[in-house]
């Protein structure tokens, strides 16, 4: 059984309009002067529209599953992650988002946001292992039936701003949009070791759709 999480809407993240509107204005202005002169700003406008696209996703209602918080490629799976926010040794799934991926992030599992932690930092390439420690990042701790799940937005070399739309105390649904990272980034997902993973390193994943794992006692 599946359900759509939201009604019909313009499939562009609202944060994109601050870039799209000026670029569109420049394109029109250049086009009035010269059609050839409008080619470059037109291409830039189309790229920015493409980058900030926010398509609807149909999210599975199957019990006990954890879905991908982002579009991209699994670049690492650490089965012995030492994450303070989890309070125990856990499994970390790292997803790299290129500039061609959808950059809207989604909640991996329904629950209550019990903590948010923002840390300013560097802007190293997001695919580097040390980026998860040194780069600008924002973490959500979700309580799902007394189990913690941590999802971390990590800025990359080009990304310079992390956007998060949920706060502590919010009830969240699986697949719900919760934030965005501009222009290339990474998302780390921390789950308990009793989660049965359904992905492997190198897999391409789709936010809100690809099943990352299943919670064993809910299967």
Question: 112: pLDDT confidence band, cut at 50, 70 and 90?
Answer: very high
Burial of 182 (0-12, 13-18, 19+ CB in 10 A): buried
Given a cut of 60, whether residue 3 has pLDDT beyond it is: no
Question: 192: pLDDT confidence band, cut at 50, 70 and 90?
Answer: very high
DSSP-derived secondary structure letter, 182:
S
How far apart (Å, rounded) are the C-alpha atoms in residues 111 and 146?
9
Given a cut of 50, whether residue 59 has pLDDT beyond it is: yes
The pLDDT tens digits of the residues spanning 20-40 come to 898 899 999 888 888 888 899
Contact 140, 151 (CB under 8 A): yes
21: which residues sit within 8 A by CB, 6+ positions away?
A: none
Task: Report the catalytic residues.
Answer: 185
Q: Which pair of tokens denotes residue 53? A: 């696209």
The pLDDT tens digits of the residues spanning 62-90 come to 989 999 999 999 999 999 887 888 888 89
Q: Which pair of tokens denotes residue 5? A: 């999480």
**Whole-structure pTM value:** 0.84
Which range has the worst mean pLDDT, 48-52, 119-123, 140-144, 214-218? 119-123
**pLDDT of 171:** 96
**pLDDT of 19:** 83
Q: Which pair of tokens denotes residue 153? A: 């937005």
Instruction: Render 42-86 in DSSP notation, one character per residue.
Output: HHHHHHHHHHTB----EEE--TTEEE-SSSEEEEEEEEEEEETTT
How far apart (Å, rounded) are the C-alpha atoms in residues 48 and 42?
10
């Amino acid at each position: 059984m599946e359900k759509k999480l939201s009604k019909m809407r313009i499939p562009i993240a609202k944060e994109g309009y601050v870039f799209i509107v000026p670029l569109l204005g420049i394109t029109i202005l250049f086009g009035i002067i010269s059609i050839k002169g409008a080619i470059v700003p037109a291409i830039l406008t189309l790229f920015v529209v493409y980058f900030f696209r926010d398509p609807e996703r149909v999210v599975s209602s199957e019990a006990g599953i954890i879905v991908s918080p982002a579009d991209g490629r699994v670049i690492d799976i650490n089965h012995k992650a030492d994450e303070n926010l989890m309070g125990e040794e856990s499994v970390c799934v790292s997803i790299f988002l290129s500039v061609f991926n959808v950059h809207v992030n989604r909640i991996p599992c329904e629950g209550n946001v019990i903590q948010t932690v923002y840390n300013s930092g560097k802007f190293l390439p997001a695919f580097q292992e040390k980026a998860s420690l040194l780069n600008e990042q924002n973490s959500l701790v979700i309580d799902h039936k007394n189990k913690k799940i941590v999802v971390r937005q990590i800025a990359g070399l080009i990304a310079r701003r992390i956007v998060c739309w949920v706060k502590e105390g919010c009830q969240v649904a699986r697949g719900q949009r919760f934030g965005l990272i501009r222009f290339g980034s990474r998302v780390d997902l921390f789950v308990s070791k009793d989660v049965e993973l359904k992905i492997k390193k190198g897999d391409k994943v789709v936010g809100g759709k690809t099943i990352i794992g299943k919670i064993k006692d809910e299967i």
